[in-house]
Amino acid sequence: METPCTRTGRRHGKALRIFAIICLALVLSCGGAVTYIYLNFRSLAAGILRGPVVRQIQSADLPDDQKAGIAGTIDRLTEDFKNDRLSYPQLAGIFERLGRGPFFVLLQTESAKGLCLGACRPAGEERGRMVRAFQRLQRGVVEGSVTAERVEAALALIQMTDSGNQRAFKPNLTAREARLFVERVRQDADQAGVPDEPYQVDFAGQLQRVVDAVLKPATAPAATQSQPGR
């Protein structure tokens, strides 16, 4: 039986696997040239880390200030890592904290929102209701009234198991499936008592607080909530 501890460990593993994937990508792209990789690891890894992440951010349905904030933090991290101002343990620690907190869960809900809006193509009041449902879910995640396990259970409605036995969003999500998922999201927010009001996740702030907690543990501010009303 899966326990909260094993689920938490799985999320930690997902975050740390990103770092392992970077190493594997370097070996494959350099044809196994271990000496070359060893001498140029920081520069190569920084490029592999920055490129896909920034592209994903730019394509996300986020406000421009959020995109700029996240991209700026990623740029600083990769530049510091490349120039030996950020250590391997520090970079791994950032990924581990991201996996332990709500950041990756929130990114999943943001991706799910874009997928559902694309499948339904709602307009007017229906679009507003769908967006509000996701805002409430995200607020619940940030404030702790909606657990990552509850989000994962809801996401299963619009996901499938791929060839690598990993969960992935359905490539051809139907409007009916999307609407059923949004209704589940709304019910989860209702059960958690999340207020029915506008809310915008501060993704950039979430990321920066994690970075500060690892690099400046003595001065890092306590995690604050994202802001209603956006």
Structure tokens at 220: 């890092």
Structure tokens at 111: 């991706």
Rounded to the nearest 10°, the torsion over CA 54, 57, 58, 61 is: 180
Summarised one tens digit per residue, pLDDT across range 166-211 is: 788 898 999 999 999 999 999 999 999 999 999 998 988 988 898 8
pLDDT above 80: residue 53: no
Q: Are 159 and 151 a contacting pair, CB within 8 Å?
A: no
- Name the pLDDT band for 47 (thresholds 50, 70, 90): low
Domain range list for the chain: 10-100, 104-197
Summarised one tens digit per residue, pLDDT across range 127-169 is: 999 999 999 999 999 999 999 999 999 999 999 987 777 788 8
Instruction: Taking each helix axis as running N to C, give the angle between helix 88-100 and helix 203-215, from 0 to 180 degrees, rounded to the nearest 10.
Output: 130
- CA dist., res. 22 & res. 46, Å (int): 9
- The rounded Cα 29 to chain-centroid distance in angstroms is 26
Binning the chain into helix, strand and coil, the percentages to the nearest 5 are 70, 5, 25
- CA dist., res. 64 & res. 200, Å (int): 13
SS (H, E, C) 173-216: CCHHHHHHHHHHHHHHHHHCCCCCCCEECCHHHHHHHHHHHHHC
Helices (H) and strands (E) in the chain, counts: 9, 4
Q: Which residue did the predictor score with more confidence, 110 or 137?
A: 137
- Name the pLDDT band for 41 (thresholds 50, 70, 90): very low
Summarised one tens digit per residue, pLDDT across range 70-85 is: 888 888 887 887 788 8
Q: Which residue did the predictor score with more confidence, 16 or 97?
A: 97
